[in-house]
Amino acid sequence: MNLFKWTVSTCAVLAAVTFTACNDSTSANVTVVTGDNSSSSTSKDSPSSASKDNQSSSSKESSKDYDCSVTDGVKVLYPEDGAKFKMGDTITVIYGSDVKGSGYRFVFKTSEDDIGVDMLPTSAGPKDPDGKTCYEQKVVLQEETDDDDATAEPTDTAIIRVIPYEKTAKGSNSGTFKVTE
């Protein structure tokens, strides 16, 4: 009986630690963009940079002209149709959502029919989005290396799909964009 109690206690502690670790890592990767006077380092025309870090930074300018309101799903506003990027670029994905849950997957697809590749190692994004706010997530167009798997590849028909973990059918695609070497 004591072995059973010890096993249950150990499992409960491990579950609590795991949940907390996931909770901390996902909340660090999202930026809520509001209408306040926050500073900006990017613009609507090109919310991308050559930076390699995945942390989002507050960027009023990159989201100010977007209508992120959505009901019962996800709405991806950037990258837009016709955007052009190079391998190694960091893209700031701009999206709105009202799907509550444990976060989102950011999937790079070479076309509408491609199953895609996760661009982040863990979920990211808000757990309780309001359906009105624009959210930003930085992702890197990364080629395969010895240490990491590829998160992208050159194509004329690239798409980033933002997918809620618990309600995958509510996901949405970005516009179609071009990725070059």
Chain segment 124-167, per-residue pLDDT in tens = 999 999 999 999 999 999 987 666 777 899 999 999 999 999 99
Q: How many domains does the chain have?
A: 1
- Beta strand 48-49 with 90-97: parallel, antiparallel or unpaired? antiparallel
For residue range 13-48, list pLDDT tens digits in order.
444 434 334 433 333 344 444 443 333 333 334 454
| Tokens representing residue 72 in the block | 């019962």
Number of neighbours of residue 167 by Cβ within 10 angstroms = 14
The Cα-based distances of 61 to 7, 36, 70, 75, 94 in angstroms read 52, 11, 20, 19, 12
Residue 93 has pLDDT above 80, yes or no: yes
Residue 110 has pLDDT above 50, yes or no: yes
Give me the torsion for CA of 46, 90, 84, 109, rounded to 10°.
-130
Range of the domain at 165: 2-180
Per DSSP, what are the bridge partners of residue 159?
109
